A and B are shown apart, each in its own frame.
Chain A
Amino acid sequence: MHPMSIWRYANPVEFLRVSGAALPWFWAGTALCLATGLAWGFFGTPDDYRQGSTVKILFLHVPAALMAINAWLMMLAASLIWIIRRHHVSALAARAAAPVGAVMTVIALFTGAVWGQPMWGTWWVWDPRLTSFFILFVFYLGYIALWNAIDEPDRAADLTAVLCLVGSVFALLSRYAVFFWSQGLHQGPSLSLDRQENVDNAFYWPLLICIAGFILLFLSLVLLRTRTEIRARRLRALQNLQARA
């Protein structure tokens, strides 16, 4: 194997070494970005003329919603790597990411509901986007439950990878079906690459920093949890070793 190959990091020992060195920096970046972005957003942005101070929820709602979807995409990629190349770290990273994605989904749903209450006059509407996130949350629950239900780690990795593939297709299908089922109250995308179409400049930079903070938070948590999963696998292997000795 080529020494510069990225698959080098798929070796658990190598992964532990590199991630252990990187993790403090990730945590520092997370703390810095989240503190800056959220403080700027909370203290340093004006109220919206229509939505009042509720617009500050944007700085949690949008990054959490982004990460809820990106976490699933990361799990999909990791599952594919496991199926195709059978790198154990990849399967464990998918397992580690699932609860993080689920919590991000809950945050997106909760902040959406709290935000919607004064705007729409009700805590919950079956708005297509909220509903899609609700569906995504159920997929997360199923995925986590399947991991926990199977004793053999490699078999669990195989079966959850199949579920992740099927779930990805159906999460996407559900999204379009839900848009067919109900037209929404949501505003269009709040952030795009074209700054003219963006939310007001006053919100742009703090939002960007918050998104960076959430991405770093996700990465830190996934690294930490993957390290834990690797240790759990090694512990299991050592216990097997002792039991046979």
Chain B
Amino acid sequence: MMPDLGKYAATVLLAYGVSLGLIAALIAASLLRSARLRRALARAEAEVRKSKA
């Protein structure tokens, strides 16, 4: 299944590997920060509701 990349195999695989790695890292960082703020906000909302009640 793997195509024959010839003498440039290292070059092509390096380009694909690093690019996809960077995209994955960006998505992961965005998702992690999203989850962290979601939790922090939920806590803060609960506190506001509690102090209001």
Contact = CB atoms under 8 A, between A and B. Distances in A.
State yes or no: do A and B touch (Cβ within 8 Å).
Answer: yes
B11 A107 contact: no
Contacts of A103: 22-23, 26
Interface residues of A, number: 38
A217 B23 contact: yes
Contact of A228 (B8, B12, B15, B33): B33
State the majority secondary structure of interface residues on A.
helix
A53 B16 contact: no
A1 to B, nearest CB: 27
Contacts, number: 93
Nearest to B45: A238
A49 to B, nearest CB: 12
Interface string B26-39: 11001101100110
B18 A241 contact: no
Interface residues of B, number: 32
B44 A238 contact: yes
A132 B52 CA distance: 55
Interface string A215-244: 001000100110110011011001101100
Interface in A191-229: 217, 221, 224-225, 227-228
B51 A245 contact: yes
Interface in A88-122: 99-100, 103, 106-107, 110-111, 114-115, 117-118
A110 B21 CA distance: 12
A239 to B, nearest CB: 7
B47 A242 contact: yes
Nearest to B29: A99
Nearest to A44: B3
Given A60-B15, A107-B19, A111-B15, A53 B31 contact: no
Given A42-B3, A231-B38, A232-B37, A57 B12 contact: yes
A190 interface: no
Given A103-B26, A242-B51, A114 B15 contact: yes
A161 interface: no
A52 B8 CA distance: 7
A38 to B, nearest CB: 8
Contacts of B16: 38, 42, 56-57, 60
B19 A118 contact: no
B53 interface: no
Interface of A: 38, 42-43, 47, 52-54, 56-57, 60-61, 64, 99-100, 103, 106-107, 110-111, 114-115, 117-118, 217, 221, 224-225, 227-228, 231-232, 234-235, 238-239, 241-242, 245
